[in-house]
Structure 1
Amino acid sequence: MITDSRDERDIYRNIVLIARAMDERNWGEIEKLAVPDATGDFGDGAVSSAAEIAALLRRYLDDCGPTQHLIGNVVIDVTGDTATSRAYVADMHLGVGDLEGQYFRTLGDYHDSWARTADGWKLTDRTKHHSGMMGNIAILAHAMN
């Protein structure tokens, strides 16, 4: 099947926009880029709405210093009005306060599902597969609770 390259471009853009929204702490943007009943699993249990995804990410990142979620090696497969994507993620989280000068990094792979909506491509599911972690996990306050 021939895929319209605009679909792949639009999905790729949304993958990057979600990563940037995490780094910019723009939780509304994350909800906007997903369907309301989007599901996800970031390694500590399933969530079942776009609002829950944003809330989980917020718990991880709100008390953290600057972050960068770098995306690479993206593979997108479009079939009609649905799509799947896989994208490597290498993220860096810097500590603040007593943890200033320390970091926590993860390496992983986002496995996403997408749906074409009247408002464009929206995330329907994201699962993060972790392949490595290094540094001080205490930087992610939620991970220690």
Structure 2
Amino acid sequence: MSANLDVRRVTDLFHVYADALDRRSWAVLDEVFLEDVRADYNATEVVEGRAALIGMIRGYLDGCGPTQHLMGNARVVVDGDQAEASVKMRVHHVGAAERAQLTYECFGWYHAELVRTAGGWRVASWCQEVTHQLGTAEVFARI
């Protein structure tokens, strides 16, 4: 398999993640994360396991209005069946119902350590690094 194809497939996982969150397609995250993934969201939420990670994400987004997760400037280093990758992110959130006038936006990076599996590349370790924020986290009605 070519290195360029591996880089594209790893980069595509960030896009699959973003689309899954914006469409609330939670089952798609099984194609992104290993079952025993470890995730750190800016040191405010650290979770072990895909089910716990999806539950944490849903706790934020199920009570939120529309979101848009934008990814760009990916950097990927593949070493055999392992890879390290990062991508810049800009994420916009709008509140729902009585919070519809509120917005929250964060900027920074997602960092990942990945492994090649029989089903393709999967994230073993995931970290969100937020560098700055706009608006209010009150858009989230934690469920």
TM-score in terms of structure 2 length: 0.94
What corresponds to 1:20 in structure 2? 19
Pairs aligned (count): 141
1:124-135 alignment, distance < 5 Å: 124-135=124-135
Looking at structure 2, the residues matched to 133 and 61 of structure 1 have their Cα atoms a distance apart, in angstroms, of 17
Corresponding residue SS for 1:113: strand
8 Å CA contact 2:36, 2:124 repeated in 1: yes
Work out the CA distance in 1 between the residues paired with 2:87 and 2:103.
22
What amino acid sits opposite 1:23 in the alignment? Answer: D
Q: What's the CA shift string for 1:27-69, capped at 9, x where partnerless?
A: 1111232111011011323111111111111001001000000
Q: Equivalents in 2 of 1:31, 1:103: separation in Å?
A: 29
In structure 2, what is the Cα distance between the partners aligned to 1:140 and 1:31?
Answer: 24
Q: Could you list the runs of 5+ residues in structure 2 that have no partner in the other structure?
A: none
In structure 1, stretches of 5+ residues that fail to align are none
Q: TM-score, normalised by structure 1?
A: 0.92
Could you list the runs of 4 or more consecutive aligned residues of structure 1 that deviate by over 6 angstroms after TM superposition?
Answer: none
Say yes or no: does 1:139 pair with 2:134.
no
- For 1:4 and 1:105, how far apart are their aligned partners in 2? 34
Which secondary structure state, in structure 2, belongs to the residue aligned with residue 141 of structure 1?
coil
The aligned residue for residue 93 of structure 2 is 93
1:104 aligns with 2:123: no
The percent identity for this pair of structures is: 28
Measured in 1, the distance between the counterparts of 2:36 and 2:47 equals 10
- Give, in angstroms, the shift of residue 4 of structure 1: 1.3
Structure 1 position 101, deviation (Å): 2.3
CA distance in structure 1 between the partners assigned to 2:31 and 2:56 by the alignment:
16
- Deviation, 1:95, is 1.1
CA contact (8 A) 2:102 2:138 kept: no
What letter is aligned with 1:17? V
